[in-house]
Amino acid sequence: MIYLDHHSTTPVDSRVLDAMMPYLTDKFGNASSLDHSLGHEASIAVESARGAVAKAIGARSNEIIFTSGATESNNLALAGTMNRYRDKGNHIITCTTEHKAVLDTVKYLEDHHGKKATYVHVDEFGKADLSQLEDSITDQTVMISIMAANNEVGTIADIAEVGKIAHEHDVIFHTDAAQAAGHINLDVEAMNIDLMSISAHKMYGPKGIGALYVRGLKPRVRLESILHGGGQERNMRSGTLNVPGIVGLGKAAEVAIREMDAENTTFRTWSKKMLDSFEQEGALLNGHRTDRLPYNLNICFPGVESKAIINSISKEVAISAGSACTTQTVEPSHVILALGHDEERAHTSIRIGIGRFNTEPEIDRCTQLITELVPTLKNIAAQ
């Protein structure tokens, strides 16, 4: 199987697995049990991983809170902030192309907690309208949440500019960086980011572990917990720490930052090669042509159903039609629609995600299969 669906998940890097294994076997202590050596050993491993994650985004170790993944991090960031700062206001600003983990949380806050939300529009390339964003800020605005890079079309947001706008208006800025962390350069200080959601399994780490960066100074951000119990993670996220997963996230972040630039050079070459071939068959690119994740390629083949392409090559190549978190529905991609395209374009678009362990022959084979298949499917559809 040629795996080209790295947006939905990535295989665990063998170096990550090697780092995790001792904490699944001999070093099985609870990181909160400091009365004996096994617990102390686990605690040291957790703090080491915390430092690695912090270093990857330019943060301090004590600003990293471990969670079960980016979905929980998003929920904690949004609900935790809006409820903590209820005395300041009840308004949140986000974007129409956000991941469902953000959009559904915002809707929950609207429906059940009386919060008000503004959904900023994007242009045809997926870039948020920053003029609308700034004009939407009121004296009731508590926070802004704009994702760092889109999980479907790969468009990279103007995060530093959003952060600048937020801080000029004394507004907290959160970014969902699940697809961006470990893949593009992120610096919470330079970009004025106050909260950042991270997922391990999007950067060759294990599933079920993630992190939330919570700014500690200038301004210090406080959250109201959504999980209550033993008070772990500075009382922001109670629960026994997933030591093997945390170690895996730390190692994944360390490897990703070290190898990011070289990988991205290769990914850009391969994605351009594929795009050039597909455009010769009439394909249309979704998202921004240059400000995009290097490993992302989201393309539309007019007149050809995406599921027809995916199913026809599924025995040899794994690709997708969009977000893995919404594939149980038959609704067209809200991201493609938000770019101003119609439902037909949404239903004729495929997403290809290149990864660390792919090879150029695999890229060439996938390209060959699709370019040979599309004319046949067009003829069938036209009959």
Q: Calculate ∠ Cα 245-292-61, nearest 5°.
A: 35
Contacts of 26 (CB under 8 A, 6+ apart): none
Q: Which residues of 289-322 are buried (b: 16+ CB within 10 A; e: fewer)?
A: eeebbbbbbbbbbeebbbebbbebbeeebbbbbb
Q: Active-site positions?
A: 325
Best CA proximity match to 48, nearest among 61, 63, 59 = 61
Best CA proximity match to 176, nearest among 142, 208, 213, 140 = 213
For the record, the structure tokens of 332 come out as 């067209």
The DSSP call for residue 5 is B
Q: Calculate ∠ Cα 220-245-6, nearest 5°.
A: 95
Q: How far is 273 from 267, CA to CA, in rounded Å?
A: 10
